[in-house]
Structure 1
Amino acid sequence: MNTTVGGLHRPSVAARLERLPMTRYQRMLFAIIATAWFFDSMDLGLMTFVLGSIKAEFGLSAVQTGLLASSSFAGMFLGAATAGMLADKFGRKPVFQLSMIFWGVGSLMCGLAQNVDQLMAWRIVLGFGMGMEFPIGLAMVSEIVPAVSRGRYVAILEGFWPLGFIAAGITAYLCLPLIGWRGLFIALSLPAVFVFVVRRWVPESPRWLEDAGRTLEADAVTSRFEQRVLAASGRQALPPVAFSAAAPQPRASRGTLFAELFKGVYARRTLMLWALWLFALLGYYGLTTWLGALLQQAGYAVTKSVLYTVLISLAGIPGFIFSAWLLEAWGRKPTCVLMLVGSAAAAYLYGQAAATQAPVSQLIMAGLAMQFFLFGMWSVLYAYTPELYPTRSRATGAGFASSIGRIGSLAGPYIVGVLLPITGQAGIFTLGAASFVVAALVVLLLGAETKGQSLEQLSG
């Protein structure tokens, strides 16, 4: 489609961006967003490694421990839903910066908490910032990377989650005996100053500016984008823009963004995504948040439980790399189903190994398989979700899908705390496996394939 800027007919922002080659400029923007994502993931993943220590210090029961583990997800539920609507109304960049301030302050105050009630309250604030950042980061990357590379880069972005998780584990293993869990939370509040890098270098999404009717700004941002890509590419000129005779799509009122998620082709996509996120995160966080504490309950020392959890998490790196490759080679839908079914099988085997007190080598092997598929699953979730909505409601759609998922992540750790004394570890991991199977069936029955299509083609 074409737009009119200053009385002149010009091709749309989408047409101009889609024909650009990938260069170090787009990769630099991606690296900035991914770095913020990495530190966010470290802060969230840290609870897996310090939950046992907090439980011991405050003398918490299993149910109380589950409530504490779930508290950050209550904040994420609110943050994800709020941020999506704010980003579709006010822009991606300011909301992304605001999210970093929330999680930085939340992490600092967690380290200064004097009792479990204060800690739980500040975990909610921390979670609110994290919940804001995830859908906005997804929308930003989706809107600056061409369709031919989009799935791979969004999947790589999600790969910074296992890297952050592993970094949190290594940091806990090395520093927990020295500075305690409070010192770790305080230290992880410092990267929030990265907000100034985002403010200086990352532009507002030109796709969003155009959709918001700010065509002059959209044209100016896109022109600067083109100039930097041209300089980074070393070419004399960029590829020509393909003009389209298609009529511009009417821009939806900002008050109808949520309602649009349930209209036409988007209703089926919304139903599928909400169920997928709910059951996938119910299983994932119900299991991984408790991994370290469950190992301690089985008789392993704190340092051993942290070390084993870090070891099995290493499989997440090849897991997300394999998933990122498979997304483009095979497609989003089959890759998603594969990762969910693999997660279910591996989680069941891990639970059986833990329940029967199998040798450590068998436990670690089952854990490696589980984390391989789990982190591969995350790559698909984050690549797939923003592709299913148009620019005008992309952050809203991704935000609410993530927010529904946080209901699962909120319930998961608490359910584990309630059921653990009744079912034991085998029952807990069987429940997680069942959640992944349900999610796989939902995608199989309702999912649509998006491989290789531009965001505008997918907008129905």
Structure 2
Amino acid sequence: MSERSNSNNESNPNKSSRSRRYIIYLTIIALAGWSMASFDFNLFTLTLPLTSKALNFTVAEAGAISGIIYLGQFISVLVFGPLMDRLGRKVMFQLTLLFSAIFTGFTAFVQNYIQFITLRFISDGSAFAELPTGLTLITEESKPKVRGILYGFVQGGWPLGVFLASAIYLILVSSIGWRGLYLVGVLPLVLILIGRRWVKETDRFNDLKKALKGEEQTTRFKTNLQKAKEFPFKQLFTDKSIRRQLIAVNSAWMLYTFSFVTTNVVITLIFTSYYHLTASQAASILLLSSAIGYFAYPIAGWYGQKIGRRNAWALSSIIMPLLAAVFLLTARPGDYLSVLIPYIPLYFFSNGTFASPGFMYVSESFPTRIRGTATGFTMALIAASYAIGGFLFYGVLTLTQSIYLTWIALAIILPIGALSILIGKNIPPSAELEEISW
């Protein structure tokens, strides 16, 4: 390998020049963006009972719609990832929310099933690309000892978005309807776009690009300049160690993600159709679960920093299916509390304890020259897995005509497969990025 390092920085060549104030700002703005991406997506989840009636689609068809939306996410992040490595992290950080804001507003005016699917395909696809862009920025700008914890707070934007969407749904849906909710969702997206004007390109990306353009003779951060000139996707699959790690993280993510549609996406329809709760009761369960579930992210970020993110992820692969089984055995139709109480810990472990260490593990597994491509590729496969999960929900429910059996297959059995993450390398939580893989 042809490696270069800047002799002026030999004492600490990997040190970031960013101030603590900037890192705090970046963490907050990334948290806000992911919260609004979650808010946008969960408007779809919360309004499913209303939109299904207004646009005339069934519970099973809702699962199929989820699958189509996730295909949009698959395409979006597959494109956004390499663009991060070519155009930069900052510009893609803005574009993700811009597209999401525009098409979220358009959703308020749909008149039929096809229009609804098309707009959510674009809007939710763009919103999902917020994850790899924010993740890459935080990973490259944070100090090793805190990057897992900081991203835990950012990733906690998902339940925060669920909480906000649930609260606004409960407060406003009776007065402005589901269409009005989509219009309300545009405003915070626009405000965050404005707030991102001070985001800077990462030192690692600038350093690499200057060297590739010949503007600098040496690089501050250790990298393989020869490989960096190759097409990003080619780099993912031609290096044996990178390819092996890519297979490890993606196989585990996919097996876990198959279950997520059942436990988190079409869950309001399960609450209303199988457990005979009202739409407001279903929304309140998500409200309470997400409020408590937020803390799973920083907590998992903390203990992932202690025991290693791969090991923290594997631990959740054992706990989450057990909690799904407890929910199935204790929740009773028509009994609000019997549904709420076991769902709260299930939400806690089916979201934050996977996502917080899991996504950071993905990002730090790959070198700067292809970090955007690698995280984008992983998010694309996760989105495809969501799509498969939606179609699996539709197929298993249609075949068995039983929510009970569908839950056993998709929420209990499949997530155990995420233990395959143990074939991935165990990364020291406080290692510099260039020491892990370059």
Relative to the length of structure 1, the TM-score reads 0.87
Q: Identity percentage over the alignment? A: 21
Q: Residue 281 of structure 2 contacts residue 336 of structure 2 at CA under 8 Å; is this kept in 1?
A: no
How far off its partner does 1:21 sit?
Answer: 8.6
Match in the other structure for 2:270: 294
After superposition, the C-alpha distances for 1:153-197 in whole angstroms (9 at most, x for unaligned) are: 112211111111111111111111111111111111222322232
Match in the other structure for 2:43: 46
Structure 1 residues 315, 196: CA separation in 2 closer, same or farther (over 3 Å shift)?
Answer: closer
Letter of the 1:119 counterpart:
F
Specify the SS of the correspondent of 2:259.
Answer: helix
How far off its partner does 1:76 sit?
Answer: 0.7
Q: How does 1:15-414 map to 2 (within 5 A)?
A: 15=13, 17-18=15-16, 23-193=20-190, 194-198=192-196, 200-213=197-210, 249-262=224-237, 263-297=239-273, 298-354=275-331, 356-357=332-333, 359-374=335-350, 375-414=352-391
- Which of 5, 8, 16 is 1:10 aligned to? 8
Q: Residue 352 of structure 1 contacts residue 426 of structure 1 at CA under 8 Å; is this kept in 2?
A: no
Match in the other structure for 1:436: 415
Match in the other structure for 1:225: none
d(CA) in 1 for partners of 2:184, 2:199: 25
Letter of the 2:407 counterpart:
F
Structure 1 residues 453, 108: CA separation in 2 closer, same or farther (over 3 Å shift)?
Answer: same
After superposition, the C-alpha distances for 1:98-149 in whole angstroms (9 at most, x for unaligned) are: 1111101110111111111101000011122123221111101111111111
Specify the SS of the correspondent of 1:393.
Answer: helix
Count residues in correspondence: 428
Q: Residue 2 of structure 1 contacts residue 12 of structure 1 at CA under 8 Å; is this kept in 2?
A: no
d(CA) in 1 for partners of 2:387, 2:223: 41
Letter of the 1:141 counterpart:
I
Letter of the 1:278 counterpart:
M
Structure 1 residues 21, 68: CA separation in 2 closer, same or farther (over 3 Å shift)?
Answer: closer
Structure 1 residues 62, 14: CA separation in 2 closer, same or farther (over 3 Å shift)?
Answer: farther
Specify the SS of the correspondent of 2:146.
Answer: helix
d(CA) in 2 for partners of 1:302, 1:99: 31
How far off its partner does 1:64 sit?
Answer: 2.0
Q: Unaligned 5+ residue runs, structure 1?
A: 220-242
Q: Residue 82 of structure 1 contacts residue 132 of structure 1 at CA under 8 Å; is this kept in 2?
A: no
Question: More displaced, 308-317 or 50-59?
Answer: 308-317
d(CA) in 2 for partners of 1:432, 1:214: 48
Q: Residue 89 of structure 2 contacts residue 202 of structure 2 at CA under 8 Å; is this kept in 1?
A: yes
How far off its partner does 1:34 sit?
Answer: 1.7
